[in-house]
Amino acid sequence: MPNTTDTSGAPDSARPTAVVGAGHWTLDPAASAVRFRSKTFWGLATVSGVFTGISGAGEVLPDGAGRGTLTIEAATLDTKNAKRDTHLRSADFFAADAHPSFAFTATSVTPGEGDAVTVTGELTVREKTLALAFPARVLSAAADAVTLEAEVSVDRAEFGMTWNQLGMLRGPATINVTARFTRDAA
C-alpha cells in the first residue's frame, strides 16, 4: 500500500485516492469500526462504546468523487456495561426496538489535498434526518481496498434523544469511524 501519511505537495498521481479507481465497493465490517464517546456525570466521566453491527457500500465515480451508505445496527452497541447498554437501546436513546438501525448516506466524498477527503451527506437516526459535512482522511488506499477515518460530533437532542436525568449528560457525542471498503468483483 502507498504511504498515505505525507503526500503534501505531491502530484495528483501520488495522492492516496489516485489509486482508487471507479467502481462499486463494499464495507469490510471485520476491518471497520464505529465507536462513540460521550461525557456523563456532569462532565466528570466519559462513556465509550462500539457498534459491532455495521454494513455499507459505496461507489467511486470516474472523476474520483464518491458516495455511499454506512448502516449501524442500534442493538449492537457495547459499552461493556449490560445495564447501561439496555438503557441506551431503550426509548430514552436509540429506541432500538422501533428503530433497529440508523444510517449515514454520503452524497459526496470529494478528494482534497494529500490524504484529506470531504464528506457531505445525511445522518438518519430515529427517523430524523440531518445534514452533516466533515473532513475525513485516507488511512490506506490500493486498487482493491481503501480505508477512511473520520471523527464527527453529534448532538443527541437533534435526533430526539433528550433524556438527561439531573443534567448528567454534557455536550455532544463524538463518533469515530474507521471504514474499510473493498472493491466488488466485476
Q: Going along 1-127, which residue ranges are E strands?
A: 23-27, 33-40, 45-51, 54-60, 66-73, 77-78, 101-111, 116-125
| pTM: predicted TM-score of the whole model, two decimal places | 0.83
Mean pLDDT confidence for 46-54: 91
- pLDDT tier, 179 (very low <50, low <70, confident <90, very high otherwise): very high
Query: What DSSP element (H or E) covers 139?
Result: strand 128-141
Q: Does residue 5 surpass a pLDDT of 60?
A: no
What are the tens digits of pLDDT across the range 126-151?
A: 999 999 999 999 999 999 999 999 99
